[in-house]
Amino acid sequence: MVIKRKSIVHLLLGMFIVFFINGCLPSQKALETKLEQNNITKKIYIKNDVEAYDSYTEDKKVLKVLKRGEEYNILDIKENFVLLKEDKNLKNDVWVSFDEIENQRTYFLTLMVNPSNSIIMINDEKYEPNKRLLEGNYKIVVKADKYLDKNLDVELKQDTQINIALDFDIEAEEKRIALKKIKAEKLKKEKLKKEKLKQEKLRKKRIEKERKEKLYIDKKQNLIWQDDNMVLKIKKPWISEKNYNTKKYSDTNGDTAATYCKKLILGDYKDWRLPTKDELKNLSFQKEYLKSTGSNWYWSDTVNSVNSELAWSVYFDNGDGYADFKNVSNYVRCVRDK
């Protein structure tokens, strides 16, 4: 009779415990709702070695240290803690921080790459050191300037460290140097071209200014005259003293009026000559339009028809002509055909 009573007591005590547990733990549906709200599965894994507690309250006590990667099932979720079901590793249900669990096991993939400035891509995403990766297969691509690309296929099942050394790309470097040289030459040519265009623009501007300030356009005779201040300074003989003494009256070589005009470069023109007697005379009648005028005698290239020792000069004040000895120095005003 006593034994029978003890059995009844044990039975009632067991029923009370089951009732108490079921009363404290959420229903399966309620648990699924909590799991969904927290974006986590019922079966979880320990992210890092972590302390497990007897409660989730402030006065909780440490019962055990759970190891990274261990698998457990969730019974409940409260205040950023999860209740893990007892199993072969646990004598009792325990509470751990929500931040220390994960839906799937993750591992560290550490890549030690040379050169250090390499670009590393894992499954087309940029590699981040100390980032956890799920178990699985990964395609690694490593690139660096002046080096050959390297591709690796890695099956990740545990924390893994891989040393990767890229091979120097000699062919690419030679090509890069060649392209750099071509680019430099191109830039140099472009720079020279720009500078040339700039100088040409300045030259044209200078010529335009010089023509405006130092030339006179003789529309009546269709001529262009030298009209700078040199026409008031330069005096030359018609022929040199040497040629005059040796009676080479037609030889204008040497420091002469004709040579001066031949060598003159003005307004970018190089085809200057001594004017004829008539050209000088007609110009003297336009002197009010000239910038540089003076009461001077100017040589013409017209030779005296009677005496070859003489050539005609023109007095600019009134256009009078005078047959002067060719070894005499007179002023020079050059002219060119328009």
Q: 48-56 — which CB contacts under 8 Å span 24+ positions?
A: 48/100, 50/96, 50/97, 50/100, 51/96, 52/84, 52/90, 52/94, 52/95, 52/96, 53/81, 53/94, 53/95, 53/96, 54/92, 54/94, 54/95, 55/95, 56/81, 56/83, 56/95
Strand, coil or helix: what is 46? strand
* β-bridge partners, 141: 121, 151
- For position 91, what pLDDT does the model report? 87
The domains of the chain, with CATH numbers, are 24-102 (2.30.30.40), 106-170 (2.60.40.1120), 217-337 (3.10.100.10)
**pLDDT tens for each residue of 207-236:** 999 999 999 999 999 999 999 999 999 999
Q: Mean pLDDT for the chain? A: 91
- Alpha-carbon distance of 112 to 103, in angstroms, equals 28
Residue 76, pLDDT above cutoff 70: yes
**Where do we find the tokens 């893990």?**
84
Q: How far apart are CA 230 and CA 215, in angstroms?
A: 12
Residue 71 pairs in a beta bridge with 45
pLDDT-based confidence at 205, cuts 50/70/90? very high
Q: Measured between alpha carbons, how far is 87 from 318 in angstroms, rounded to an integer?
A: 133
Residue 1 has pLDDT above 70, yes or no: no
Verify cis geometry, omega within 30 degrees of 0, for the bond prior to 237: no
Residues 151, 154, 160, CA angle at the centre, nearest 5°?
Answer: 120
Distance set, CA 2 to CA 6, 72, 183, 307, 313 (Å) = 6, 43, 106, 176, 166
Band (89; pLDDT cuts 50, 70, 90): confident
Q: Which of 335, 327, 279, 270 is nearest to 302 (CA)?
A: 279
Q: Which residues, 6 or more positions from 297, have their beta carbon under 8 angstroms from its beta carbon? A: 313, 314, 315, 316, 322, 324, 330, 331
- Given a cut of 70, whether residue 103 has pLDDT beyond it is yes
Q: Do 228 and 334 form a contact (C-beta atoms < 8 A)?
A: no
DSSP 205: H
Contact 207, 201 (CB under 8 A): no
| Residue pair 313/297 in contact by the 8 Å Cβ criterion | yes
Q: φ and ψ at 232, to 5 degrees?
A: -100, 0
Distance CA 194, CA 181 (A): 20
Q: How many CB atoms lie within 10 A of CB 101?
A: 20
Residue 298 has pLDDT above 70, yes or no: yes
Torsion of CA 123, 129, 135, 139, to 10 degrees: 30
Confidence of residue 54 (pLDDT cuts 50, 70, 90): very high
228: nearest Cα among 139, 104, 333, 124: 333
Read off the pTM: 0.50
pLDDT at 19: 42
Least confident of 3-12, 74-83, 181-190: 3-12
